[in-house]
Each structure stands twice: as structure tokens, then as C-alpha cells.
Amino acid sequence: MSLFDLITHSFSSPFVIKAPQSTFSYPILISSPHSGMQYDHQLLSSCRLSLDELRKSEDSYVHQLLEQSPYHGVTFLQACLPRIFCDLNREAWELDPDIFKEPLPDWCNTKSPQVKRGMGTIHKISSSGKQIHKYYLSFSQIKQRIETYWFSYHQQIESFIQTNYEQYGGCILLDIHSMPSMPKRSPYYTDIVLGDGFSQTCSPFLINNSQKFFAEKGLKVSKNIPYAGGYITRHYGNPRHNIHVMQIEINKSLYINEDNFEQHEGFSKLQSILIEYIQWVCLQSSNILKSTS
């Protein structure tokens, strides 16, 4: 994908949602909140970092890995705006007062762990720890951005949950991300991290059998370490009410060159594994919805 393809001259659509395209549909939603790759020209001009540096924070091509999932009976929801400009896996108003030119309203969450890391709803720093913005931000403009992007994305999730809860008595949400690689010699190296908020957001049946599935594909899998699930997982997951939410983190080195963001030969292999996994979740959905936490 060229730089020309990434840079837009107007705000993109808030999200893309694709309904099931198969004969059978399942109460399963695939969410990709961090794979937005449409960089608005005006927003870029306010950043002090290069596009390549900004892109290190995105979950590159996760939406492409999963783009065939609607043909297997699931709903697919993807963000369009890059996460540095509006992070959909945070609370709506996790904002760092240091990057605003005026005081923030009292109802903003200015002291969350994510804000302190510089990665609240509007990122202060890149994934490499570099300052993003050239200028102080206007709260009125950021408020409009959050209302446009954050709320529209989460309205889709809420609508899906409500509709499928009424129809099926529950639903499954898989929130899928990618993570920077680490040296394979590291004791913490892993290919896949499954997060359920330490047994709080989905049934043991889903996470334990998902771990088994990926391990049987030759992948190293861990649970909750180092990623136990972000806002989407923890906010919507409620297995006692048959709403099962699990976060899946994928090692970027499995499918792209992290230096130049180019897909390599592992992309199609991983894509096939993920589609097979989605098919497995579909077949097991009734068992997952019957299981208890």
C-alpha cells in the first residue's frame, strides 16, 4: 500500500461494518478497532512525526486478515481513523490535560493508567514514546472527533449485543489486535495473547479451547500476559449474562515486516488460520453460549 493510498484529504467514514454474507449467520462480532489506516491530511499536518513513525501504533492489516469472515456467517466491524487520533479501545473521555490549550471539563478521566502512559483516547506519544502533536489541541475539536468516531463505533457494538441478546440469548465478541514482536529468545515471547480480564469477560470454554486451537497450529499462546483486554473487552464482557468478549493479540512479525509495513509470505498462512478459527468459533457458538463462567 502506497503513501498516496493512506493519506486522505477529508475525514473518512467512522467505521466499516459488514453483515454476514453466508446462508447461516451467527451471534458473533469481529471487532478491529485499531486497524484504521486512513490518515487525514489535515491531521497529519499537525503532527511532528513522520507517517512511518505514526504507523507503528496501528494494528496494520488486521482488517485484511479478517476481511473474509462475513462469508462464514459473522459480522465484521472495522475502524477507519487511526488509533492515535481516536483510540476506540479506551473510555470516550480518557484525555491528557497536558496536550490541551484549555482546562478540560471535570468529567474527563485525566488520571487513568492509559493517560499516564500517554495513550489515552487521543494519543500523546507514539508507540516509540515520541511526542505526536506540534501544537496544543482544542477540546471543542477533539470533542467533535470523539462524538463522531468513538460513539459511532461503540453504538454498533451496543446495537449488535442488544439485537443478538434478544434473538439468541447471548453473543460472542472477538476484539482483535496486533502487537509488536519481541525477540524469540525472550522468555516472554508469544505469537498469540488471549485476554479475558483474568477470567472476567468470557467463558473458560471459549478462551481455553481457543488456546488449544492456536497451539495445535504450532503457535505459542499465552493468556492475559502481557495483554488481558482493553476497554472493549472489559466493558462489554459479561459472561453471567451470556455476553462473551475475548481480546486476541497477534504478533506482527507473523505476517508483516515491521520495519517497512510490508506483508510477507506468512500473511496468507495466518489469514487461513484465522478463518479456520472463525469457522471453529461458529461451530462452537452454541456450546460457548451455553457454558458458564
Q: With 90 as the cut, is the pLDDT of residue 125 above it?
A: yes
Quick one: average pLDDT of 81-92? 97
Determine if residue 136 is left, alpha or beta; phi over 0 gives left, psi from -120 to 50 gives alpha, anything else beta.
beta
What does the alpha-carbon distance between residue 286 and residue 267 come to, in Å, rounded to a whole number? 30
| Residue 56 confidence (pLDDT) above 80 | yes
Residue range 123-134: mean pLDDT, rounded: 95
Which pLDDT belongs to residue 48? Answer: 96
* Average confidence score pLDDT of the chain: 93
Query: How many whole angstroms separate alpha carbon 65 and alpha carbon 289?
Result: 26
Nearest to 238 by CA among 177, 152, 158: 158
Place 210 in a pLDDT band, splitting at 50, 70 and 90: very high
- Distance in angstroms (rounded) separating the CA atoms of residues 59 and 249: 10
CB 39 within 8 A of CB 184: no
pLDDT of residue 190: 96
* Per-residue confidence (pLDDT) for residue 183, from 0 to 100: 79
Using one digit for the tens of pLDDT, what is the confidence trace for 138-153?
999 999 999 999 999 9
Distance CA 174, CA 29 (A): 6
Q: Is the pLDDT of residue 160 over 90?
A: yes
Q: What is the mean pLDDT of residues 46-68?
A: 95
pLDDT of residue 291: 66
10 Å CB burial of residue 266 (0-12, 13-18, 19+) is middle
Q: What is the pLDDT of residues 245-274, one digit of tens each?
A: 999 999 999 999 999 999 999 999 999 999
Residue at grid coordinates 472476567: 200
C-alpha cell of 186?
525472550
Q: Which among 286, 69, 291 is positioned nearest to 174, based on CA atoms? A: 69
3-state secondary structure of 238: strand
215, pLDDT greater than 50: yes
Longest dimension (CA), the chain: 53
- Tens of pLDDT, residues 1-48: 544 456 664 556 889 999 999 888 999 999 999 999 999 888 999 999
